[in-house]
Each structure stands twice: as structure tokens, then as C-alpha cells.
Amino acid sequence: MECIEQANQRAVDTMLAGDPVLVDVIPAVDAIPELAEDKLILHAGPPIEWERMCGPMQGAIAGIAVFEGWAQNLNDAMSQAAAGAFNFQPNHHYNAVGPMTGMTTRSVPVMVALNRSSGNSAYCAINEGLGKVMRFGGNDESVLKRLHWLKDSLAPLMSDALKLSGGINLKNIVARGLTMGDEMHQRNVACSGLLLRELSPYMAAVSTSKELLTGSLKFMGGNDQFFLNVGMAAGKAIMDPARNIEHSTIVTAMSRNGTDFGIRVSGLGDTWFTAPVEMPEGLYFPGYSEDDANPDMGDSTIVETIGLGGFAMGASPAVAGFVGAGAASDAAIFTKDMSEICYSQNPEWTIPAMDYIGVPTGIDIRRVVEIGVTPTINTGIAHKKPGIGQVGAGVVRAPMQCFTDALHAFADQEGVS
């Protein structure tokens, strides 16, 4: 037991020492050289083959294949995918994360979060905004046009601005965001604004086109969830150095592909422990209901893995209503519950309304199983058909089976079963 405590302390210390800085935006292939080979498509969640993918995931894959020029049109892309023309791998296997469908291919621009503490980097695509977008399975011309604009226009401008800035400290932005009602999963308006405040002078300084600068400021300023993907890259950069710590029972990743929910545990290497993903319970946009909903999806649960999202609900009473989690004044209950399954709290990420307690940090699979409480996740809800988009937001629980399976495997490995 003592070596488990020490290992978990080391894992949590590594997390708390994490110092993610947004340093660049680059083509994914420059971040992940493997993307140059084959027709590699990285997706959210644990590994999954084409046949078992949900509708939005298949829709996004069709769209990204057209975007990369690997298919003539969406039908062609679907046929090729079914015929095995593409190589599917999880983002998580390549230092990357992506929200919802989480498409990452060679030409997609990715934001680079450098963890100055450990020296590793993590990558995430730029948030596309609301409405018809690829992360919710959108794949029509408007979606591809936006992706081309992100690639050809916004990404190079952000890259130049970030280089001139010397990098944007993301730990500080998250800390401030927690005092401003963000939980960094379904609510990112404060952090999006704080990032724009820091970056916009550098964007102005490097810009060579008034039209591009104006459009970029409007795009970033008009997207309340712009920071979600930045926070995700930060989360991945924070968690990766906490992987593979022998004897540790701390969760290093939680993720879902729309079909399966998967977790990874530090002391169990890179094995995924999966179970069927659950349906979010939440509120639907007008005209939609749970009949339209796709099961939970995306790598965005990396934010819960570092103590934000559903774990930081107490910082974000306004999100409680948005995700249908009850009264705003009850938001703190979620954070208190999550503290029960975590090894520690984060002294730098605190919640004023809860008299500055730190967000729950380091999910311990032993506590999850012992107490019988699984992680709470604040999530967007995608339409189950490809190409439609977000239809609501809600709360979903990680399936207990992932944790019991992982704990059994841990017991086997430690020789205590």
C-alpha cells in the first residue's frame, strides 16, 4: 500500500507541476510525423474500427477525407472507409486530443501546448465554433470551407502571434477562469476572452492583412468555446508525464469515441479499459430530444482528468443550468463529490465561491470503486446522424466498469488478487 501512495503522490505532483504554455499553431503533420504516411486519421476516444463507429464519427471521417483530398466526395469517402482505405488511430496515441469526433489529419492545424515542466508537447485542433461543425459530425461545404480558412488564414496568424508573444501561460488563464465562472468544458467564455486579451496585441503586431486580422478577431471573439480546445491541449500536456508511474492508481486519460468509454491508469501503462459509453442526461436545444442524441463522445474529458469540467462545477453555477445539473446553488455538490474520488486538490486552481478550495485532482480508481462514485463529465450532445451538429448539453458519468476492470488488472499486476 505504501508504494501505491508514493506512486500516486508522484503522479499528482507531476500533474501539479505541469506548466502548459500555448506556443504555436502548426500543421498536424509537423507535430505528428506519422500523419505523412498512409492515410492516417486520428479520432477521439479509445481505438475503434469503422463498423463500430457512431454516425457523427463516420460523418466526420467522410468530411476530413474530402478535406485532405483523399476522396472525391462524401459518398466516395464512405465507400473507401468501409473498404479499409484509411488507417484509424486514437489521438491519444499521438500526444493529441480532439473534442467530440476529434478529427486530426496531416493538414489540420493543431495548437501546441508545451509543458515547460516536463518538456513534452500536446496538440489539439482549433475550435470551429457552434452550428454545423466537423467535431459534431458536420461535413458539408460550409464545414470544409471553415476548415480551409482555419488552415490557411487563422492558423498562420496565430502561429506568428504566439511566436512573438513568447507563449501564453495557460495555467494562469485557467486559474483566472475559475474565478470567472468557467469550468473549462461546457463554459469557456472567460478563458476565451482572457486568451484573446493576451494574444490580440501580438496578432495586430504580426498581421499583414487588415481583413484577416479583423476576421480572426471576430472569429475568436465570437466563439465562447474557443478556449475548450486550448484547455484540452493543456490537459493532455499535463497528464502525459504522469503516465506509466509504476504502482500508481491515478487515471491518466478518460475518453470516448461515441461507442466506447475508455480510461487509462498510470500504473497500467497505455492499456485502455473500456465499456459501452453512456447517454448524457441534459437539456436539448429547441426542436431536439434524447431521441436525437448520440452517446457521449470526445477526448474533451481530459479536462475532467485534470480536475476541471464536471469536477470544477462549483466554480461555474451558470453551467449547472446549461447542462441540466439542477439548481445553480447546488453546483458545489458536484465538486465536493469529485473530491471524494480524487487523491488531492490543486492549490493553484481554486474556487472562490467555495472559499478557495482547490479543484479535485488525481482520480484514484481505488476510491471510485470503493465509494461507488464515478467521474461527472459536463458534455455537449451531438445528433446521432452525421452532419447535423450539437443538439444539447448535459452531464454524463464515466461507466463504473472501466474502473472495476482497471482495478482488477491492477490487483493482478501487483499480485494481490
Positions that interact with a copy of itself (CB under 8 A):
176, 179-182, 189-190, 192-194, 196-198, 200-202, 204-205, 207, 210, 213-215, 217-218, 220-222, 317-318, 320-321, 327-329, 331, 352-356
**Closer residue to a copy of itself, CB minimum distance, 84 or 222:** 222
Rounded CA gap, 399 and 90, in Å? 19
- The distance in angstroms from the start CA to the end CA of the chain is 14
Rounded CA gap, 293 and 297, in Å? 11
- For β-strands 87-90 and 40-43, DSSP reports them as parallel
Rounded CA gap, 258 and 295, in Å? 5
**Closer residue to a copy of itself, CB minimum distance, 2 or 211:** 211
**Closer residue to a copy of itself, CB minimum distance, 179 or 413:** 179
CA triplet 175, 261, 127: central angle to 5 degrees? Answer: 45
Q: Please state the closest distance from residue 149 (CB atom) to a copy of itself, in A.
A: 15
**Closer residue to a copy of itself, CB minimum distance, 199 or 341:** 199
Q: Minimal CA–CA distance to 363: which of 379, 339, 347, 346? A: 339
Q: Please state the closest distance from residue 156 (CB atom) to a copy of itself, in A.
A: 16
Q: Please state the closest distance from residue 318 (CB atom) to a copy of itself, in A.
A: 4
Q: Which three cell numbers stand for residue 9?
A: 503522490
**Closer residue to a copy of itself, CB minimum distance, 148 or 197:** 197
**Closer residue to a copy of itself, CB minimum distance, 142 or 329:** 329
Q: Please state the closest distance from residue 160 (CB atom) to a copy of itself, in A.
A: 13
**Closer residue to a copy of itself, CB minimum distance, 220 or 302:** 220
- 107 burial (CB, 10 Å; 0-12 / 13-18 / 19+) is middle
Q: Please state the closest distance from residue 192 (CB atom) to a copy of itself, in A.
A: 8
Q: Please state the closest distance from residue 180 (CB atom) to a copy of itself, in A.
A: 4
326-332: Cβ within 8 A, 24+ apart: none
Q: Which three cell numbers stand for residue 170?
A: 495557460
Q: Minimal CA–CA distance to 44: which of 149, 113, 124, 156? A: 124
